[in-house]
Chains A and B, each alone.
Chain A
Amino acid sequence: MLPCTGRIDESLLLKAFENGADGVMVIGCLEGDCHYVNGNIRARARVERVYNILEQINIGPERIRMYNLSAGEGAKFAAFTSEFVTRVEELGPSPINLARSNGPKESEQEVQAT
């Protein structure tokens, strides 16, 4: 948990995928409501950049999404979360996790063979 989505940068989001996430959901305050003026606007731009990166490397851009919510919108939070989780489940494991579950031995052999 971060005090402001403005602290999120591209490398943190990509690290989540490196650490095995199948999807990453970024939830910021409502636009216009940022305590630090434009933290959530910056976060949106960074999420968009990561979206483009994921698209370029065929990880699947839909695996990242930004939502805006106020702290009082618990029900909406739950709805957004299940919506996103369902979407990621439909997409299945990320290509990284697929490669990892194919077993490190196999890919090691491949590396040695080339």
Chain B
Amino acid sequence: MITGTPKPIEEILEMLEPYDNIIVAGCFGCVTVCRVGGDKEVQVLSSTLRLAREAAGRKIEIKEVCLERQCDPEYLEPMRPYIEDYQAVLSIACGAGIQFMAEKFTKSPLLPGINTGFLGVTERQGEWTERCQGCGDCVLHLTGGICPVTRCAKSIFHGPCGGSVQGTCEVDKEVKCGWQLIIDRLVTLDQMDNYGKLKPYKGWDSSRDGGPRRIIREDMV
């Protein structure tokens, strides 16, 4: 899922300075699961903003909505009839959802209510960690199911590097060396021969280096 963290209330209040009636829009997708932008968070954030603004002597009117997903056009469409009745939209979906809404409703200022994080997993309630950087050319079958792009701080392909000390990475003693994890796992799986099968270099043309990416599935369009 895509993870995120709430923006500080102070920062949000500052963004809202020019506005007196807004929409707070959540998303039932990833951000609901990581508890940063779902229906519940819409309610709590809206109440918080109303209280803060009223206490400061300047009320704010808020329409609370939560869309099925902000990254699919059909779920944004229902907002069209009323969106321009409000001065701005504070979205607590991920950056993709917020941008898509901004594209569809060009006359409405869109404000981000969260800081979008990474593609990750839930370790336990309240703790998420990164797993994939969407490189576009997955090698997990050769690396024991552990991603060298994400789990190795340098994203190298034939680690571990010299900074690996007793299984930890030189960037932070709390971070496990991704390549040590890969080697250990390949040994466990009796698949060390995969280490030699890794490409001599990794092409990054399918990754972000060529700018924003697009996927077109001819079988679906």
Residues of A within 8 A of B (CB): 9-11, 14-15, 17-18, 53, 56-59, 94-96, 98-100, 102, 107, 110-111, 114
Contact = CB atoms under 8 A, between A and B. Distances in A.
B48 A14 contact: yes
A14 B44 contact: yes
10 A-B pairs with least C-beta separation: A14-B47, A95-B55, A11-B43, A57-B52, A10-B44, A56-B9, A11-B44, A96-B54, A107-B57, A53-B48
A59 B55 contact: yes
B61 to A, nearest CB: 11
B131 interface: no
A59 B51 contact: yes
B50 interface: yes
Contacts of A114: 58
Contacts of A18: 47, 50-51
A40 to B, nearest CB: 17
A9 B55 CA distance: 22
B92 to A, nearest CB: 14
A15 B48 CA distance: 9
A11 B44 CA distance: 5
Contacts, number: 56
Contacts of A14: 44, 47-48, 51
Interface of B is mostly: helix
Interface residues on B, range: 10 to 19
A111 B20 contact: yes
B193 interface: no
A114 B17 CA distance: 11
Nearest to B8: A56
Contact of B57 (A11, A15, A99): A99
16 contacts: A11-B43, A11-B44, A18-B50, A18-B51, A53-B48, A56-B8, A56-B9, A57-B9, A57-B51, A57-B52, A57-B55, A59-B55, A107-B59, A110-B58, A111-B59, A114-B58
A45 B20 CA distance: 32
Interface string B67-90: 000000000000000000000000
B40 interface: yes
B201 to A, nearest CB: 48
B139 to A, nearest CB: 41
B14 interface: no
